Amino acid sequence: MSGTPRPDPAVLYPEVAAHGSLVAALRAAAGGGLDAVPLHASDIEPLFHAGAASAVPYREPLKIEAWRHERRWHIRGEDSFQFGALLKGETDDLAQLARAVRGWHDGESPEEIRRAAPFARPTGRFEVPDRDPGRLTESEWRCLLWEAAGLEYPWAPAYLSLIEAAYAQPALRALYPFTSHWALRFSTATRPYMSVVGPSLVALGPGEFGLGSGVVACDLGEFASAGEAVAAALARLPPGLGPVVLGTTPTR
């Protein structure tokens, strides 16, 4: 069986096809506003992929990708240490896309970029140029809280309450948080090389929370409130945990 044929790129993106690449179309849409911005076209798919360098040394080039089945571009802006997303978004407006590219290059904050290009969504993370592990930890917590507050799944309110309950506890807030399969986990080191510690917490649904020794399993108990599950997680933290450190060395 064959899948649905992809639309002709020239139909979805006529201005890109007319200019021969996404990079050329962006420069044209910006009317000279991107002339000084280093843009990189994909060697393989210049109509669909591009990158935009930043003048800020702790930012990765902005990734720009075109969708294949409808007219829409996706962006992702990452920091250059953890490669966590600071900015995301989708748009069908090439002019707005060009404004986001310019803001990323110029070092504007994600909030400032959003004001110029409303499709661009800050993720809650903030930039930590000096790589302070405490600030990186707080940035990651803020990202989890922002993400959870914006979810629209039926279990999203329970998931948000779980993250809020964990964040309210100083012993857990001091640890670097991350999620795997929507399970909340903790580390004593930041990305890119984390050192996992303690159990995992999961929101199963309204009034249903689990504690597990693995990623999703609830083998350590199920609870009727986020607070109860978090209290059980606290009781299982090993003693003597020090401050979070930079995850610069792989752990065994």
Tokens found for residue 36: 């000084």
Among candidate residues 145, 125, 136, the one with its CA nearest the CA of residue 243: 136
The residues, ordered by sequence, that sit 6+ positions from 51 with a Cβ below 8 Å of its Cβ are: 39, 40, 61, 62, 63, 64
Domain boundaries of the chain, sorted by first residue: 9-122, 133-247
Mean pLDDT of 111-137: 97
| Confidence (pLDDT) at 252 | 61
Give the pairing type, strands 189-192 and 245-247: parallel
In percent, the amount of the chain with pLDDT more than 90 equals: 87
Partner residues linked to 179 by β-bridges = 184
d(CA 68, CA 117): 22
Query: 63 phi and psi, to 5 degrees?
Result: -90, 130
* pLDDT at position 4 over 80: no
The angle formed by the CA atoms of residues 69, 47 and 28, to the nearest 5 degrees, is: 115
Query: 207 phi and psi, to 5 degrees?
Result: 70, 20
3: confidence class by pLDDT, cuts 50, 70, 90: low
Q: What is the value of pTM for the model shown?
A: 0.90
Q: Give yes or no for a contact between 89 and 75, defined as CB atoms under 8 angstroms apart.
A: yes
* pLDDT at position 216 over 80: no
Q: Give yes or no for a contact between 22 and 30, defined as CB atoms under 8 angstroms apart.
A: no
Mean pLDDT of 91-114: 98
Sign of CA dihedral 70, 91, 122, 154: negative
The predicted-structure confidence for 148-188, as pLDDT tens digits, reads as follows 999 998 989 999 999 999 999 999 999 999 998 889 999 99
d(CA 151, CA 139): 19
| Confidence (pLDDT) at 175 | 98
| Confidence (pLDDT) at 7 | 82
d(CA 83, CA 203): 27
* pLDDT at position 1 over 50: no
243: confidence class by pLDDT, cuts 50, 70, 90: very high
Length reported for the chain = 252
